[in-house]
Amino acid sequence: MTLLKSWVSSANSADHPFPLNNLPYGVFSTADTDPRCGVAIGEMILDMQAAEHSGLIDLGDVALFDVPFWNDLMEEGPAVWGALRERLTALLAEGSAEQSKVEPLLVPMGQAALHMPFMVSEYTDFYAGRNHAFNVGTMFRGPENALPPNWLHIPIGYNGRASSVVVSGTDIRRPWGQLKSPDHDLPAFLPCRRFDLELEMGAIVGVASDGPITVKEADDAIFGYVLLNDWSARDIQAWEYQPLGPFQAKATATSISPWIVTKLALEPFRTDTPEREFELLDHLKDCGPMLYDIDLSVSLAPEGKDATTIARTNFDQMYYSSAQQLAHHTTSGCPMNVGDLLGSGTISGPAKSERGSLLELSWGGKEPLTLDTGDERSFLLDGDTLTLSGHAQGDGYRIGFGACSGKILAALADPYAR
Amino acid sequence: MTLLKSWVSSANSADHPFPLNNLPYGVFSTADTDPRCGVAIGEMILDMQAAEHSGLIDLGDVALFDVPFWNDLMEEGPAVWGALRERLTALLAEGSAEQSKVEPLLVPMGQAALHMPFMVSEYTDFYAGRNHAFNVGTMFRGPENALPPNWLHIPIGYNGRASSVVVSGTDIRRPWGQLKSPDHDLPAFLPCRRFDLELEMGAIVGVASDGPITVKEADDAIFGYVLLNDWSARDIQAWEYQPLGPFQAKATATSISPWIVTKLALEPFRTDTPEREFELLDHLKDCGPMLYDIDLSVSLAPEGKDATTIARTNFDQMYYSSAQQLAHHTTSGCPMNVGDLLGSGTISGPAKSERGSLLELSWGGKEPLTLDTGDERSFLLDGDTLTLSGHAQGDGYRIGFGACSGKILAALADPYAR
C-alpha cells in the first residue's frame, strides 16, 4: 500500500497524519455550526451531516449523521462501515467526478473545535502490556514475583468509569483523595501528590454481543482505535486498591484523542503478538496477526515552556491484543454494547526510554527525569501539559492519530466550597 | 407514622408490601400495552402514562412518562420527586375526590409483566458490610488480618458492568470462565463450579454531580433503593482478582427487584451507623441517621421443591451508608449521572444464620447447608431458584420491596457453538 492521492492537496504530504488512506472519524463544531460528525482529510474536515443531507452519502433508509456522535454508524455493522469507507475514498480521491459537490462541504480544521467522537457506553481498562506489568510488579514485589500467576494466562482488566472519559484538550484538575503516607499511621484527605499518566490505546466496540464470542468475532466487532491517557493518582491508588482494585485513583479523567482511526485504515499495519512461554487456552488464541505497528510517544511541557519527549514505544509491545481482551471480556456472558471502550493497558517497551508512565520512568519517584528545559519531574506538576502522539508508518504515508493532550490544573483549594 | 388508608382496599392490609405509605415505582406491560411506568398500590398498578395523558398527573411542561423508565422523573430533581409523591398520595388516599377518575387507570398486578424500572447508567459495587468483609477476610487471610488496613477508613468499592444488570425473574445462565484448581498447575476454561449469590441493597443516584459532594449532598442525591443480588462466580474470582479486582466473576448478571422504593418512603426507618474504632475523616462523617432498618432474607428452592430461608439479616448491619459510598465515589472528581446504581456490598449479620452469601454460609464449601427439603448446598446448583426479600416494619404497615429472584440455568454445553 502506498499513498492514495486526494484532490485535497494538504492530504498528500508523506508525513501528514490524515491522508486519504486514513479517513478518521471525529465530531467538530465551528462558530456557525453545532457539533456534528466529520471526517478528517488533510487540513480539512468533511461535514458528514451536510454530506448526508446533500445525498452524497447515502447508507440506507436511516439518517446516521443528524447526531453528534458516531455510534449510529457503528450500530449499522461492518458491511456499512466498509461501504462508507469505500464511498468516502471515491468522493475524496484525485480525479473524483464529485469534487465540485464535495468541496463546499469541507471545513478548515483551524476553524473547528473537536468534541468527543462517540458516546462511551462502558469503559474497561486492561493491564496487558508485559513490560509495564513487570516494571510495576518489580517495584512492589521484586522481579521474581513481578507478574501475578494469572498474568500470562488471561488479560487482566478492571471496569473503569465511562463518565470520566474526556476528549483531548480538556484540562485535568488534580484530584483530592484519601491517602496514607508511609510515615503516618492514619490516612488523610489531601490533594494527590503523585499524579501520573498512562500511555494506552483505546479500542472501540462497534458490534454488541450477549454471550461469549471468539477472538475472531471480537476482532470483527472492533470499530476503531484512539490514543488513551489513563490519568492515575498513584498515592490514592496505593491506599485504596487492595483488595478490589483501583477505583477513585482512575476516576478523575481518562483522555482520548479526538479522531477514531478505523480498524480498516490500520489493516496494512497488523503484526504478531510476542512469543509466549505458556500457550493460551483455545478461546484466547491468536487468529492471525492481531497487534498493530503504531509508533507512540509521550511529551511533557511545563507551563510556558517547550515540550520534551519523555518516552517512545510501539503498540506492538502488547502481550494481548484488543480482540483478545474483548473475547475475554465476554467469557462470563457479560453483554457488550456499541460504544464500549477498552483501554489496552499501559504500553511500555523494554528500554528505560520506552516506558509509558512516570511511575516507571522515575522508578516510583526515586530517579526523577530531567527535561530538556532543565526541569525535573517524578510525577506531574500543576501547569504541565502532557501529550500522547501516534502514527503507523506506511510506504510514503502515515496513518496518524492526532494528539491526545491535557493540561494539569491545580487542585481546588477546598473541594467542598460552594 | 401508621398505615395510610387507600381506597384501593388490598393496600390496607398490615402485611401487604405496597400500602399507600410505600408507592414504589416500576415499569410494567400487559397483553395490551407496551412497557410503561407504573406505581404499585396494593394489588394494583397505576398506569403513569395514562395518568399523565389524562391530566391527573401534571408535573410541569415536559412529559415524563412517555418512556418506559423512571430516569426522566429522576432528572427533574428532589422538589419534583416530592411533588409527585404528594400528588399520588392525594389521588389514592381514602376519600379522594378523584377516585372515579383514577380507578380506570389501575391495572391488576396479576396481569402485568415487570421490566427494568430504570436505565442503569453505570454500576458500582461496594464491600461495605463489616461482617461480610471480616468473614471473607478470615477465610483468605485469618482473623488477625481479616480486614484490609484501609477498610475502616474508606468504603472499598469497584466498578461493575451496567450491561449485566437485569430485573428479577430473569433466568441466570451459569457462566464459563478461566479457573485454576488448587491441584492443577495450569488454568482451564470450564463452567463455574462455585456460583454464589450476594445479598445487597442497591441505591439509585437521582441527581448528577461533577465534582466532590458532601455526605449530606449525596444523601439528597439518592432517589431510591432496590434489592440487589450480585451473582458471583467464586472460582473465576479467585483466579482473576489479583491485582486489579473482580472482573468476569461479577459480569454474568446482577439482579434487582422490580420496584424502586423511594428514599421518601423509607424516611421513618432511618437508623444510625455502628460505633467506629477510627473516626471517619470529615468528608465521610455521618450527617444524621444514615442507615435503614430493613429486614432482609434469602431463600433457596431446588428445582421443583419448596424454598428454604437460608439467611435473615438487616440493612442496618452496614458500616458505611449508601450516601457515604456516593460521597466517596465523587472525591476524585468522578462525574456521577442519573441512573447510576451503587450496590451496598454483601449484608451479613454477626450470626451464622445472618450471612448474605453461600461463601460465608458454607464457609467456603467446608460446611454445606442442609435445606428443609434435605438437599445439601455449598454453592448454587442448576435449577435452583434464589430469592431475596425485604421490608421495613412500621406500626401496622410495611414498606415492602417485592422479590428479587432468579433461577440458575445449566451452563451452555459449548459457549462458542453457533
Please tell me which residue of chain B has the smallest CA distance to A239: B150
Q: Between the CA of residue A133 and those of A123, A231, A232, A321, B62, what are the distances in Å?
A: 20, 17, 15, 15, 51
Per-residue pLDDT, averaged over A364-386, amounts to 98
Sign (positive/negative) of CA torsion B241, B247, B253, B258?
positive
* Cα gap A413→B6, rounded to integer Å: 52
Per-residue pLDDT, averaged over A344-351, amounts to 98
Please tell me which residue of chain B has the smallest CA distance to A338: B163
- A218 shares its domain with A250: yes
Query: Which residues touch B17 (CB under 8 Å, ≥6 apart)?
Result: B40, B391, B398, B399, B400, B401, B402
- B93 shares its domain with B197: no
- Residue B209 DSSP class: B
* Cα gap B340→A349, rounded to integer Å: 38
Model pLDDT, residue B418: 84
Closest partner CB to A245 (pick from B163, B245, B331): B245
| Omega before A243 within 30 of 0, i.e. cis | yes
**Length of chain A (residues):** 418
Closest partner CB to B163 (pick from A156, A188, A336): A336
Q: Scanning the structure block, which residue is given the C-alpha cell 457462566?
A: B175
Closest partner CB to B331 (pick from A163, A178, A241): A178
Closest CA to A335 of B163, B64, B298: B163
- A270 shares its domain with A392: yes
Q: Kindly determine whether residue B161 and residue A159, on different chains, have CB atoms separated by under 8 Å.
A: yes
- Owning domain of residue B215: 123-409
Of the residues B132, B328, B329, B391, which is catalytic? B132
Pairing state between β A341-343 and A123-126: parallel
**CA distance to partner chain A, nearest, from residue B93 (Å):** 40
* Cα gap A237→B21, rounded to integer Å: 44
Tally of domains in chain A: 2
Q: Between the CA of residue A124 and those of A75, A206, B231, what are the distances in Å?
A: 20, 15, 20
Model pLDDT, residue A141: 84
| pLDDT band of A385, cuts 50, 70, 90 | very high
Name residue B142's amino acid.
G
Beta strands in B326-375 (DSSP E): 341-343, 369-370
Model pLDDT, residue A343: 98
In DSSP notation, A291-318 reads: EE--EEEEEEE-TTS--EEEEEEEGGGB
* Cα gap A341→A200, rounded to integer Å: 12
| pLDDT band of A418, cuts 50, 70, 90 | confident
Indicate the SS3 state at residue A124: strand
Other beta carbons within 10 angstroms of residue B53's beta carbon come to 14
Closest partner CB to A177 (pick from B163, B252, B331): B331
Q: Kindly determine whether residue A334 and residue B188, on different chains, have CB atoms separated by under 8 Å.
A: no
Closest partner CB to A244 (pick from B156, B240, B416): B156
* Cα gap A11→A308, rounded to integer Å: 27
Cell numbers found for residue B386:
434464589
Q: Kindly determine whether residue A252 and residue B156, on different chains, have CB atoms separated by under 8 Å.
A: no
Closest partner CB to B161 (pick from A173, A212, A334): A334
Other beta carbons within 10 angstroms of residue B336's beta carbon come to 25
For residue B415, tell me if it sits in a domain: no
Q: Kindly determine whether residue A334 and residue B278, on different chains, have CB atoms separated by under 8 Å.
A: no
Closest CA to B199 of B350, B379, B346: B346
For residue A299, tell me if it sits in a domain: yes
Model pLDDT, residue A140: 83
Please tell me which residue of chain A has the smallest CA distance to B162: A122
**CA distance to partner chain B, nearest, from residue A4 (Å):** 39
Q: Kindly determine whether residue B178 and residue A281, on different chains, have CB atoms separated by under 8 Å.
A: yes
**CA distance to partner chain A, nearest, from residue B122 (Å):** 7
Cell numbers found for residue A344:
489496552
| pLDDT band of A264, cuts 50, 70, 90 | very high
**CATH code, domain carrying B250:** 3.90.850.10
For residue B352, tell me if it sits in a domain: yes
Q: Scanning the structure block, which residue is given the C-alpha cell 461463601?
A: B359
For residue B3, tell me if it sits in a domain: no
pLDDT in tens, A266-297: 999 999 999 999 999 999 999 999 999 999 99
- B153 shares its domain with B49: no
For residue B186, tell me if it sits in a domain: yes
Name residue A185's amino acid.
D
Q: Kindly determine whether residue B244 and residue A246, on different chains, have CB atoms separated by under 8 Å.
A: yes
Q: Is A86 exposed, middle or buried (0-12, 13-18, 19+ CB in 10 A)?
A: exposed
- A15 shares its domain with A132: no
Q: Kindly determine whether residue A329 and residue B248, on different chains, have CB atoms separated by under 8 Å.
A: yes
- Residue in A185, A215, A247, A252 to test binding to B, most B beta-carbons within 10 Å: A247
**CA distance to partner chain A, nearest, from residue B83 (Å):** 26
Name residue B251's amino acid.
A
Q: Scanning the structure block, which residue is given the C-alpha cell 494528539?
A: A403
Indicate the SS3 state at residue A24: coil
Q: Scanning the structure block, which residue is given the C-alpha cell 421490566?
A: B115
Closest partner CB to A158 (pick from B211, B212, B247): B247
Please tell me which residue of chain A has the smallest CA distance to B163: A335
Contact in structure between B40 and B23 (CB atoms under 8 Å): yes
- B163 shares its domain with B232: yes
At A408, phi and psi to the nearest 5?
Answer: -85, 120
- A52 shares its domain with A128: no
Contact in structure between A176 and A189 (CB atoms under 8 Å): yes
Residues of A in contact with B158 (CB under 8 A): 158-159, 244-245, 247
* Cα gap B123→B163, rounded to integer Å: 9
Q: Which of A115, A137, A165 is the last residue of a domain?
A: A115
**CA distance to partner chain A, nearest, from residue B18 (Å):** 33
- Helix ranges restricted to H, A19-70: 48-53
Please tell me which residue of chain A has the smallest CA distance to B176: A332
Q: Between the CA of residue A25 and those of A85, A116, A416, B140, what are the distances in Å?
A: 11, 11, 39, 49
DSSP helix, strand, coil percent of chain A (3-state; round to 5): 25, 30, 45
In DSSP notation, B87-145 reads: HHHHHHBTT-TTHHHHGGGEEEGGG-EEE-SS----EEEE--BHHHHHHHHHHHH-GGG
Q: Kindly determine whether residue B156 and residue A240, on different chains, have CB atoms separated by under 8 Å.
A: yes
- A151 shares its domain with A256: yes
Q: Kindly determine whether residue A164 and residue B335, on different chains, have CB atoms separated by under 8 Å.
A: yes
Q: Which long-range contacts (CB under 8 A, 24 or more apart) does B57-63 make?
A: B57/B84, B57/B87, B57/B88, B59/B83, B59/B84, B59/B87
Closest CA to B133 of B149, B112, B117, B118: B149
Q: Is A87 exposed, middle or buried (0-12, 13-18, 19+ CB in 10 A)?
A: middle
* Cα gap B398→B294, rounded to integer Å: 10
Average pLDDT of chain B is 97
For residue B335, tell me if it sits in a domain: yes
Q: Which of A83, A115, A147 is the last residue of a domain?
A: A115
Query: How far is the first Cα of chain B from the last one, in angstroms, to the nearest whole number?
Result: 57
Q: Which residues pair with A387 in a beta bridge?
A: A299, A405
Q: Kindly determine whether residue A332 and residue B249, on different chains, have CB atoms separated by under 8 Å.
A: yes
- A157 shares its domain with A41: no
Q: How far is residue A100 CA from its own chain's centroid?
A: 35
- Residue A201 DSSP class: E
Contact in structure between A172 and A408 (CB atoms under 8 Å): yes
Task: Report residues of chain B scoring pLDDT below 70.
Answer: none
Q: Which residues pair with B195 in a beta bridge?
A: B233
Question: Which contiguous run of DSSP H or E holds residue B264?
Answer: helix B263-266
For residue B229, tell me if it sits in a domain: yes
Residues of B in contact with A149 (CB under 8 A): 180
Could you give the maximum distance between any two Cα atoms of chain A, in Å? 74
Closest partner CB to A211 (pick from B212, B248, B415): B415
- B15 shares its domain with B154: no
Q: Kindly determine whether residue A248 and residue B332, on different chains, have CB atoms separated by under 8 Å.
A: yes
Cell numbers found for residue B181:
484448581
- B276 shares its domain with B341: yes
Residues of B in contact with A213 (CB under 8 A): 416
Please tell me which residue of chain A has the smallest CA distance to B253: A334
**CATH code, domain carrying B21:** 2.30.30.230
Of the residues A16, A115, A132, A328, which is catalytic? A132
Q: Which of B65, B92, B115 is the last residue of a domain?
A: B115
Kindly provide the ipTM of the predicted complex, given to two decimals.
0.97
Q: Between the CA of residue B120 and those of A277, A366, B55, B117, B264, what are the distances in Å?
A: 41, 43, 29, 9, 21
- Residue in B120, B138, B158, B159 to test binding to A, most A beta-carbons within 10 Å: B159
Model pLDDT, residue A310: 98
pLDDT in tens, A216-252: 999 999 999 999 999 999 999 999 999 999 999 999 9
Q: Kindly determine whether residue A187 and residue B212, on different chains, have CB atoms separated by under 8 Å.
A: no
Q: Kindly determine whether residue B334 and residue A159, on different chains, have CB atoms separated by under 8 Å.
A: no
Share of chain A above pLDDT 90, in %: 97
For residue B2, tell me if it sits in a domain: no
**Length of chain B (residues):** 418
**CA distance to partner chain A, nearest, from residue B89 (Å):** 35
Size of interface A-B (CB pairs under 8 A): 193
Model pLDDT, residue B382: 98
Please tell me which residue of chain B has the smallest CA distance to A329: B248
Q: Scanning the structure block, which residue is given the C-alpha cell 480486614?
A: B147
Task: Give exposure, B69-84, as e/b (b: 16+ Cβ within 10 Å).
Answer: bbbbbbbbbbeebeeb
- A131 shares its domain with A225: yes
Residues of B in contact with A154 (CB under 8 A): 178, 187, 239-240
Answer yes or no: B132 catalytic.
yes
pLDDT at A62 over 90: no
Name residue A378's amino acid.
S
In DSSP notation, B182-195 reads: TT-SS-EEEE-SSE
**CA distance to partner chain A, nearest, from residue B207 (Å):** 14
- Residue in B185, B247, B341 to test binding to A, most A beta-carbons within 10 Å: B247
pLDDT at A96 over 90: yes
